[in-house]
Amino acid sequence: MILKTAAVAAALFTLGCAGVPGNSNGVSEARLRQMGEQVRADVETGRIPGAVIVVARNGNPVYTEAIGVLDPKSGAPMRMDAIFRVYSMTKPIVSVGIMMLVEEGRLQLADPASKYLPELKGLKVGVEKKDASGRTVLEEVPAQREMTVQDLLRHTSGLTYGVFGKSLVKDAYNSSKMLSDDQSNAEMVAKLGKLPLAYQPGTTWDYSMSTDVLGALIERVSGRTLDAFLSQKILMPLGMKDTGFWVEPSQHGRIAEPFAVDPDSKQAVTLTNVHQPRRWLSGGGGMVSTASDYLRFSQMLLNGGALDGVRIVSRKTVEYMASDHLGLIRGPAYAPGPGYGFGLGFAVRTAAGQSAVPGSPGEHNWGGFGGTAFWIDPQEKLIAIWMMQAPNQRTYYRALFRNYVYSALD
């Protein structure tokens, strides 16, 4: 059953803060309510500000709840149409955009990225060695091959992030301010063209700025800014009216905010300022969205690339994206974890076991730094979306959410 626009709106917003239509879709109402009660208790003890939870099965929302507060400063209650910084949940949207260009014949996955972004031609790989005095230095060696568009989609490009782990290459990224909001995508690529790669392309999965480069590639190939391309090709056709790179002033009252100080680390919490347009349209982590918008995007993927009579990509393209593209390629900090490979834009479950959380082979997922997460389970015809703005608590609640949802299935 394809989820209709009116049905989504009615199901998600008129049900209010504890909507469970029943268990006709093979989902235990009591179990999902128990999850809501636990999250509500955590909010009351000050562990997280609040959350929006959506579970859909067979094309129908079976559980929706808004818990806690939207903004700890104002005390405004959480609302189902709250707008969240989704950070890396931007990546699947941008990856779909790339696959649309592939379907249109405007690029191919085997193409070197430098075919479209010549700034990335001839990059070298940084290798740490000891000099005569025993000091660790960075030696640059030739890359054995260039990164491809497929490498960028599956994070085997050799690029990295400067914020996860330590290395001399990561130090160089940080010195170059690769995550600065004060840059265009073209300027970002120019910076990367002057830095060494962290790994030989195609040899190592490393969470990286690869999808940011894909955003720049979309701009270069399409001739449009990333926000304009995504709006015209994906967001508007799917009715994702509250998804973008910033929030209009009239909607600022819907932005979900974090605690000023993290309750666990006691450190200040600083998230991206989305109250006004920014120069950098980060394809890897710059977007905002709502639970209902991301449900529409997810339902499109679960439907095989179409929603409400609008086709975004083909069924075979979705199947291809949701297949493992890594094989045995892994890295020292492999974020998907045991039981998962990586497809084109998100992690893909390869085994029923191995992982410490339940799931089904073929399930695909990803999350964002700010605390958001989603997964799509085609075997169970299931979509689950968790939205909060509590970065330090994200890992715990992702596992908690999964355990409750899968335990609720009949």
Residues of the chain with pLDDT > 90: what percent? 90
Reported in sequence order, the residue ranges of 123-228 that DSSP labels E, i.e. its strands, are 124-130, 136-142
Name the band, by pLDDT with cuts 50, 70 and 90, for residue 19.
Answer: very low
pLDDT of residue 18: 40
pLDDT of 11 higher than 60: no
**Per-residue pLDDT tens over the stretch 152-205:** 999 999 999 998 889 999 999 999 999 999 999 999 999 999 999 999 999 999
Q: 79 or 328: whose pLDDT is higher?
A: 79
Instruction: Report the C-alpha gap between 358 and 353 in whole angstroms.
Output: 8
Residue range 303-327, pLDDT digits in tens: 999 999 999 999 999 999 999 999 9
Mean of all residue pLDDT scores within the chain: 93
Residue 372 pLDDT level (bands cut at 50, 70, 90): very high
Residue predicted with more confidence, 20 or 410: 410
Nearest to 153 by CA among 97, 103, 196, 75: 97
- Of 229, 258, 273, give the one whose Cα is nearest residue 106: 229
Q: Residue 332 — pLDDT band, cuts 50, 70, 90?
A: confident
Round to whole Å and give the CA distance between 179 and 119: 18
What one-character-per-residue DSSP string does 76-88 give?
A: EEP-TT-BEEEET
Quick one: pLDDT at residue 54? 98
| Sequence-separated (6 or more) residues with CB below 8 Å from residue 309 | none
What confidence score (pLDDT) does residue 1 get? 27
pLDDT in tens, 266-287: 999 999 999 999 999 999 999 9
Stretch 122-130: mean pLDDT: 95
pLDDT class of 391 with cuts at 50, 70, 90: very high
pLDDT(9) > 90: no
Task: Give the pLDDT confidence score for residue 23 in this predicted structure.
Answer: 54
pTM listed for this prediction? 0.93
* Span 347-371, average pLDDT: 97
pLDDT at 22: 47
Which domains are present in the chain? 5-87+241-407 (3.40.710.10), 97-222 (3.40.710.10)
Cβ neighbours of 190 (radius 10 Å): 15
**pLDDT at residue 24 above 70?**
no
| 3, 62 contact by CB (below 8 A) | no
Q: Other C-beta atoms within 10 Å of 241: how many?
A: 12
Query: Where residue 12 falls among pLDDT bands split at 50, 70, 90?
Result: low
Burial class (CB in 10 A: 0-12, 13-18, 19+), 207: buried
What pLDDT score does 14 carry?
Answer: 36
The yes-or-no verdict on residue 377 having pLDDT over 60 is yes
